[in-house]
Amino acid sequence: MKNNRRNFVKLAGLAGFSMAGNHFFKDIGYHSSKYSLAGSDSLVSDGNTSIIGSYGSWAAGLIEKELPSFSFRRKSWKNIEKWKKTAKKRFAERLSIPDLGRIPEVAVSKQYSYDGLHIEELRWALPDGGYSEAILLKPVEASGPLPGILALHDHAGNKYFGTRKITKTSDDQHPMMVEHRKNLYDGKAWANDIAKRGYVVLATDAFPFASRRVMLKDIPLSQRQGLSDPEPDDLDGITAYNRWAGQHEHIMAKSLFSAGTTWPGVFLTEDMRALDVLCSRADVDKERMFFSSRPP
């Protein structure tokens, strides 16, 4: 799907909820069934019960008999450009997207070559806390601006890792990432595979994963369940952290909501800052931007 930057932002906002860029995965031999997302009927888990109990049928039926007010399928919307402008405004309002400023100042931590790719390890500060780390990949022999791809890693119940789930930067791989890619991506680092086809690929740690994760040392002792932040070689500690992080999700979501924003709003605006970083590079053709959406 070819997009200019404006269309990219519009599509990326939807990607975290109901869209998957499966055309990328099909092109490089992955099984699309692994990347399917939950449908709009997720309030009801089977014919008799709901994930929100007795409220499920009521909630699912709120708009059952009419189209949502901002659906372009409604007869009241006749001009697609007017609809886009109005719907985008409502979308941003409903997500309560926080302002994280414009293009952050980027530092290159390392750069090297591996498996036919030029690799840069990047980092930039964000006002909502700490640094965001990213991995950029492009063909070693590349010359001139190349089309760009913002690669969004999966969730998979593993918040200790982020970009490392979809990239490979050396033969020395973390054993948990080897297993992760084996289970989800047929053992492949798909960001590398796409970069080799002639793209500049930027993979960033999403909120709140890896460099953007909640550090145990930063929260009250009473909330740590006796855990401490694990080192990369502490596999049991990482497993325990991921279990804790899963249990912490509702606390983060409720806290963001109480603060006047939302979880989707935060990770979307962080993704948009990453897109700014990618588009600001001289080696990227800003008129040829692609995206890969975040598998579950």
Q: What is the pLDDT of residues 105-115, one digit of tens each?
A: 999 999 999 99
Q: Is residue 57 part of a domain?
A: yes
Of 18-32, 79-93, 128-142, where does mean pLDDT reach its minimum?
18-32
Please tell me whether residues 140 and 57 are part of one structural domain: no
Q: Is residue 224 part of a domain?
A: yes
Please tell me whether residues 121 and 64 are part of one structural domain: no
Q: Is residue 81 part of a domain?
A: yes
Question: Where in the sequence is the domain holding 227, given as residue range(s)?
Answer: 5-37+103-292
What pTM was computed for the model?
Answer: 0.79
Please tell me whether residues 57 and 31 are part of one structural domain: no
Please tell me whether residues 62 and 154 are part of one structural domain: no
Please tell me whether residues 66 and 140 are part of one structural domain: no
Instruction: Please calculate the CA angle 188-190-193 and round it to the nearest 5 degrees.
Output: 95
Please tell me whether residues 154 and 245 are part of one structural domain: yes
Please tell me whether residues 193 and 269 are part of one structural domain: yes
Query: By the 8 A CB rule, do 214 and 227 touch?
Result: no
Q: Is residue 48 part of a domain?
A: no
Domain count of the chain?
Answer: 2
pLDDT in tens, 6-40: 444 444 444 433 333 333 334 434 333 333 333 34
Question: What band does 102 get if pLDDT is binned at 50, 70 and 90?
Answer: confident
Please tell me whether residues 160 and 192 are part of one structural domain: yes
Question: What's the confidence (pLDDT) of residue 129?
Answer: 76
Of 8-17, 186-195, 242-251, 284-293, where does mean pLDDT reach its minimum?
8-17
Q: Among 45, 79, 95, identify where a domain stops.
A: 95
Query: By the 8 A CB rule, do 212 and 270 touch?
Result: yes
- Give percent of the chain above pLDDT 70: 82
Please tell me whether residues 158 and 64 are part of one structural domain: no
Please tell me whether residues 282 and 148 are part of one structural domain: yes
Please tell me whether residues 142 and 73 are part of one structural domain: no
Please tell me whether residues 60 and 126 are part of one structural domain: no
